[in-house]
Structure 1
Amino acid sequence: MTQKDQIDSQGFAIINNVYNENEINTLISLIDDTTQNNPENRTFRKSQDLFAIRQFHNEIPETLPFIFNQKLLDIIKTNFGENYFITKSIYFDKPEKSNWFVAYHQDLTISVNKKIEVENFENWTVKQNQFAVQPPAAILENNFTIRIHIDKTTKDNGALKVINNSHSKGILRIEKLDFGKEKETICEVQKGGIMIMKPLLFHASNKTTNNERRRVIHIEFSKQELPEGLEWSEKMVLQN
């Protein structure tokens, strides 16, 4: 089964050895420099269980040449084709003693530039002056997410759990899933590896139990234009 076949049929794929040690160390250095020099930045979220940077590609654009190395560009082109752009990015740092966990859910919202009434765009929210909305399922079905693992991620430090093929069921309430009949996979990823997933794939994350840090760069992609004056608020076109 090819990576593309696995993404289409299961909703996710794990690919290790996308980044070498030097590339990972460079990313860590660039992130650390920014966070230490701008501790009060409004896009930073900090607690004892989680540190996060929203709009990561805008906040630390210096990382982009290292994130989009030739290996990643080839993976995107082989599995999805061309003309994709970034629509959202978040950096997650789950500390060694984190009790942070996330229950099973689908990623149902996108970030847009303003709130306007558009058919089938619903459940509007606003956070830190950024609008989010749930678009029609067709938009979500054609998008994808890449999670870049800066640390080794295992079941003991919060690796994602997914319900295989759940992305094929459309937008669904979790109660509608019969867990007795579904296959669950724990997505362990090596340092320097990536996980690709579809937004409608049900996924969750457990608490950390092994005192090992987990840092991930989460990037969402689309190639679809939005209707009636809506724009992706974090859109960035990839430079090949």
Structure 2
Amino acid sequence: MMNLDHYKSTIQKSGFAVINNIFSEEEIEKIGQVIENIDTSKEAFRKSEDLFAIRQFLKEVPEVQDLIFNDNIQKIIAEVFGEKYFVVKSIYFDKPEKSNWYVAYHQDLTISVDKKAELPGFGPWTTKQNQFAVQPPLDILENIFTIRIHLDDTDENNGALKVIPNSHLKGIYRPETIDWSVETETICNVEKGGIMIMKPLLLHGSNRTTNGKKRRVIHIEFSDRQLPKQLKWSENMN
């Protein structure tokens, strides 16, 4: 398999890396078939003309777990993240072909937890569909890795992520303060069956789809940290 030391150092330095050929065509087809056959009326599902999303994806669609955690993904988690990392969040996104949905530059500053608890360093809080999210202390965010599995070829014409390299090293970085005289933008093209690994504090966004091609992504976050005893990760899966 590929030299993972290279990707590990790239992620530490730049905040992201793209690795193609992680899933075979057959594996991607099987994952797609499972998603097509699920009951989309559940509360955790969000469906509109511009977006179809499934929160707590691995919990809501357990049939995909064995397909997603193939040998390649398990090796990447162990060697790039660390042996003690576990799933703490999973979402499935589908930007349909005609979607005009776009995402402005932001950092992923919240984690999903089981309930609301007043704790020093945790806040502000939000609640969506009975799911609790909170901004935790910075050290928890700095320790998270995200894997984005691409079920379609994705480039700048159908919503590939655009990122600001190295921005994950600058703490809380408000998008309105981006200094474009020193920062650069990178478009993260990913092939079908490839993945993008990123740090949540990396400033990232995406443009509208202009080429009429869909973009389906499975977003999974990993941590090796236990939360204070009053809180639990809303998803916790080894």
Q: Same fold (TM over 0.5)?
A: yes
**Residues paired across the two proteins, number:** 234
Q: How many angstroms apart in 1 are the aligned matches of 2:229 and 2:25?
A: 45
Conserved 8 A contact 2:151-2:192: yes
Conserved 8 A contact 1:118-1:228: no
2:186 corresponds in structure 1 to: 185
Q: Amino acid of the residue matched to residue 182 of structure 2?
A: K
Deviation at 1:81, TM superposition (A): 1.3
Determine what percentage of the aligned residue pairs are the same residue.
Answer: 62
Q: 2:21 aligns with which of 17, 23, 40?
A: 17
Conserved 8 A contact 2:127-2:133: yes
Distance of aligned partners of 1:150 and 1:217 in 2 relative to their CA distance in 1, 3 Å threshold: same
Q: 1:30 aligns with which of 16, 31, 34?
A: 34
Q: How many angstroms apart in 2 are the aligned matches of 1:79 and 1:85?
A: 13
Conserved 8 A contact 1:137-1:170: yes
Deviation at 1:17, TM superposition (A): 0.1
Q: Amino acid of the residue matched to residue 20 of structure 1?
A: S
1:2 corresponds in structure 2 to: 6
1:74 aligns with 2:75: yes
Q: How many angstroms apart in 2 are the aligned matches of 1:80 and 1:55?
A: 21
SS at match of 1:125: strand
Q: Return the TM-score normalized by structure 2.
A: 0.96
Q: Amino acid of the residue matched to residue 122 of structure 2?
A: F
Following superposition, which runs of at least 4 residues in structure 1 exceed 3 angstroms of deviation? Answer: none
Bigger mean CA offset, 224-233 vs 155-164: 224-233
Give structure 1 stretches of 5+ with no counterpart. Answer: none
Deviation at 1:231, TM superposition (A): 0.6
Taking the TM superposition and a 5 Å limit, the aligned residue runs for 1:38-53 are: 38-53=39-54
Deviation at 1:180, TM superposition (A): 2.1
Q: Amino acid of the residue matched to residue 176 of structure 1?
A: T
Q: How many angstroms apart in 1 are the aligned matches of 2:182 and 2:19?
A: 27
Q: Amino acid of the residue matched to residue 170 of structure 1?
A: G
Q: Return the TM-score normalized by structure 1.
A: 0.96
Q: Amino acid of the residue matched to residue 10 of structure 2?
A: Q
Deviations 1:6-47 (A, max 9, x none): 00000000000000011000000001111xxx2321111111
SS at match of 2:37: helix
Deviation at 1:75, TM superposition (A): 1.1
Conserved 8 A contact 1:153-1:190: yes
Instruction: Report the RMSD for the aligned CA atoms in angstroms.
Output: 0.9
Q: How many angstroms apart in 2 are the aligned matches of 1:179 and 1:134?
A: 27
Conserved 8 A contact 1:27-1:66: yes
